[in-house]
Structure 1
Amino acid sequence: MKHVELDKLDQRILAILQQDGRISNQQLAEQVGLSPAACWRRVRALEESGVIIGYSARLAPERVGQGLCVLVNLSLQRHTIDSTADIEQQVSSYPEVLQCFAVTGNSDFVLRVIVPDMESYDRFLNEKIFTLQGIAQVNSNFVLREIKNTQTLPM
């Protein structure tokens, strides 16, 4: 994917939208010092170029009954293109998996999993993770408290 050159106005627009994705175009234009039409064109161009990939609401997991966060390290038995792709596809289909990273080091994948409680996590492991073909080892790290959790990129 090609790097998109961003000027200072684009960077300011992105910083504001990351903090408040529901801001009106009028308010955004005022904050960055553009006319509403010029601001709208810039936001539209950022969307079309793939810099802005979507808008969403951030939820408090514990408020919606999803209070247990687990970082799961998966190690593979073998490293073939087909087996790795199959595991990636399977893991990506699990709604409990919010993020999946292919990593270097002691494991091959790190998953960020959110479930209601320990019983649900046990069920997730037994019904989903342990049924995956080609997994050599699973290591679970339970999050005690969240220090920082952001999707905001520095601009």
Structure 2
Amino acid sequence: MAEEADAFDRRILQLLRLNARRPNTQLAAEVGLSPSACLRRVKALEERGLILGYTAIVSGAPDDGFVAIVRITLERQSEDFMRRFETAVRRHPEIEECYLMTGDADYVLRTSAPNASAYEKIHTEVLSRLPGVARIESSIAMRNVLRARAGA
């Protein structure tokens, strides 16, 4: 990411966050670029690592299980402890999101499971075995109120 994103790049990123499936011709028109210039910019944003990938936001059915928001406190907040923890987190697909935090917890994770016994297995076989973990606090979400938005 040697160069900073300019106004065109920021607008492209903003629009793609809302709907990454829009045709390039539509994206170009909304940004105010030619389709070829817009496509070059999107490719450059991907190459620079500003666009990491594309995904679908799927609506969940009521029987999809539950989501656990997990607060992790490490034994130490040293660079080595944090690096080892973050490396381990990336190896576990059960952990859907991970954020380095300020405040009481060092990290907040999001994971989901179809039922309580499946989450217990994630807790005992994955979360409690992550390197450097001193404390785990889990909260179970009752329902989703707002999800990442799609559409303009």
Q: TM-score, normalised by structure 1?
A: 0.77
List aligned pairs for 1:6-155, cutoff 5 A. Answer: 6-7=6-7, 9-60=8-59, 62-63=60-61, 66-150=64-148
Aligned counterparts of 2:143 and 2:18: Cα–Cα separation in 1: 23
1:70–1:114 CA contact under 8 A, matched in 2? yes
2:88–2:131 CA contact under 8 A, matched in 1? no
* Cα deviation digits, residues 87-137 of structure 1 (max 9, x gap): 222222111111112223222221111221211111111112223454222
What is the one-letter code of the residue matched to 2:86?
Answer: E
Q: Percent identity?
A: 36
Aligned counterparts of 2:43 and 2:76: Cα–Cα separation in 1: 44
Instruction: Note the residue ranges of structure 2 that are not aligned, 5 or more in a row.
Output: none
Aligned counterparts of 2:131 and 2:47: Cα–Cα separation in 1: 39
Q: Secondary structure at the match of 2:68?
A: strand
- Count residues with an aligned counterpart: 150
* Cα deviation digits, residues 27-77 of structure 1 (max 9, x gap): 2223334332222223223333333222222223x34x7431111111223
Between 32-41 and 110-119, the greater mean CA deviation after superposition: 32-41
1:69–1:113 CA contact under 8 A, matched in 2? yes
Aligned counterparts of 1:100 and 1:78: Cα–Cα separation in 2: 18
2:68–2:140 CA contact under 8 A, matched in 1? yes
Q: TM-score, normalised by structure 2?
A: 0.78
Superposition deviation, residue 2 in structure 1: 5.2
Give structure 1 regions of 4+ aligned residues with deviation exceeding 6 angstroms.
none
Aligned counterparts of 1:43 and 1:72: Cα–Cα separation in 2: 35
1:69–1:142 CA contact under 8 A, matched in 2? yes
Instruction: Note the residue ranges of structure 1 that are not aligned, 5 or more in a row.
Output: none
Q: Secondary structure at the match of 2:57?
A: coil
Change (3 A) 1:36 1:139: same
> Aligned-residue CA RMSD in angstroms?
2.7
Q: Secondary structure at the match of 1:145?
A: coil
